[in-house]
Amino acid sequence: MPQALDKLKETPSQTGGPYVHIGLMPNFVGLTGVYAHDLGGTMVGKGAKGERIALTGRVFDGTGEPIRDCVLEIWQADAAGLYPSPSETRGSADPHFTGWGRTAADPQTGQYRFETIKPGVVPFPDGRKQAPHISVWIVARGINLGLNTRVYFSDEAEANAADPVLNRIEHRSRVKSLIASRDGDTVTFDIHLQGPNETVFFDI
């Protein structure tokens, strides 16, 4: 959900590593006692509405190697297209769904995984409908600024074709870098930081 940016100034940026996991996911690295559970680890509560899906994939560097020390966060609407945000004015979001998650890539395989739900349709600022999508933020050692991208769904071809954000991408061949493949309840979205298959990133 877009937030007003006129209240707080952005702090200076710096590289996210090599200690990003210690600050964001202490239990993941064995530092217990900070939080009972790492924040963002569970998105779907008992009684949450909507279609359960698993969002998974890997983040690849410019040489095609998986990045095994990255952290990813996702933000999304609930199944009805509502955000759990004070800025949400269209209704009340599902109280059993957080709309936000955080995970780290597997240190052996580089694979990440979120247990979430398929989001509903949300409006663009001008009122046009956006296709169901999930916003993704990636940070890792050597990434000076967190990278922002989106996940769209391969089974939403008609909605994707009308999506106002996808339609703003000048090089149409790159749109496919934002479309995740789906097999049953598993949605696979690989992210390429550089190279011929580079994922589209957004300056937000």
- pLDDT level of residue 142 (50, 70, 90 thresholds): confident
* Rounded Cα gap, residues 135 and 151, in angstroms: 6
- pLDDT level of residue 22 (50, 70, 90 thresholds): confident
- pLDDT level of residue 17 (50, 70, 90 thresholds): low
Average pLDDT over residues 52-57: 98
Could you give the count of Cα atoms lying within 13 Å of 191 in the half-sphere of its Cβ? 29
CB 183 within 8 A of CB 50: no
Q: Which domains does the chain have, with CATH numbers?
A: 20-192 (2.60.130.10)
- pLDDT level of residue 16 (50, 70, 90 thresholds): low
Cβ neighbors of 168 (< 8 A, separation 6 or more) are none
Neighbours of 128 (CB within 10 A): 12
Give which of 154, 155, 151 is closest to 57, Cα–Cα. Answer: 151
3-class SS of residue 178: helix
Is residue 26 predicted with pLDDT exceeding 90? no
